[in-house]
Amino acid sequence: MDAKDLLSIGEVAERSGFPHSALRYYEREGLVRATRTSGGQRRYERGVLRRLAFIRAARAIGVGLDEVRAALDQLPERRTPTKGDWSRLSRAWRARLDEQIDALLALRDGLDSCIGCGCLSLARCRLWNPDDKVAEQGSGARLLPPALRRTPDRGV
């Protein structure tokens, strides 16, 4: 907790791989915090690097900042998060990941069956007709599992 343990924005940028601008942005958005020197410069605790690594991993799998913030908010405010705290978070993430993987596998298998069966005949194939709109029948199960329906940029 010595002042010496605090990192400048430049150091955090270098160690985290995020540019300064992103770090300031994340602070504005409430994903990370920093204290200030008397002169107003940011000083980060080392723990911020963990948060940033977490943010990076989350972003990499397409998670939006809102959701990341919500996850990070689970961490204790008062004390420095323990290994256990991070583990809990990671486990939750693992579920998220599993969901996404399952969704992708389902899509892939759907693709395979399409190729295999020659059902590209539009009118029948659920892959090509996710919503069964063609038949105008009761819509039934949608092709894409929830994880994939959550489209990257605001659901189509």
Binding site for DNA (CB under 7 A): 8-11, 13, 19-22, 24-26, 37-42, 59, 64-66, 151, 153-154, 156
20 binds, among its own copies, DNA, none (CB under 5 to 8 A by kind): DNA
Contact call for residue 29 and its own copies (CB under 8 A): no
Helices vs strands, H then E, count in the chain? 6, 2
Cα–Cα distance, 31 to 128 (Å, whole number): 39
> Quick one: how far is CA 125 from the chain centroid?
31
Nearest to 32 by CA among 46, 150, 110, 59: 46
**Which pair of structure tokens corresponds to residue 134?**
């063609």
Restricted to residues 70-129, the positions that interact with its own copies (CB under 8 A) are 83, 86-87, 90-91, 93-94, 97-98, 100-101, 104-105, 107-108, 111-112, 114-115, 118, 120, 122, 127-129
Residues in the chain: 156
Other C-beta atoms within 10 Å of 18: how many? 19
Least spacing, CB of residue 119 vs DNA, in Å:
26
Cα–Cα distance, 86 to 72 (Å, whole number): 9
Residues that bind its own copies (CB under 8 A): 14-18, 22, 46, 49-50, 53-54, 56-57, 59-62, 83, 86-87, 90-91, 93-94, 97-98, 100-101, 104-105, 107-108, 111-112, 114-115, 118, 120, 122, 127-131, 133-134, 144, 148-149, 151-153, 156
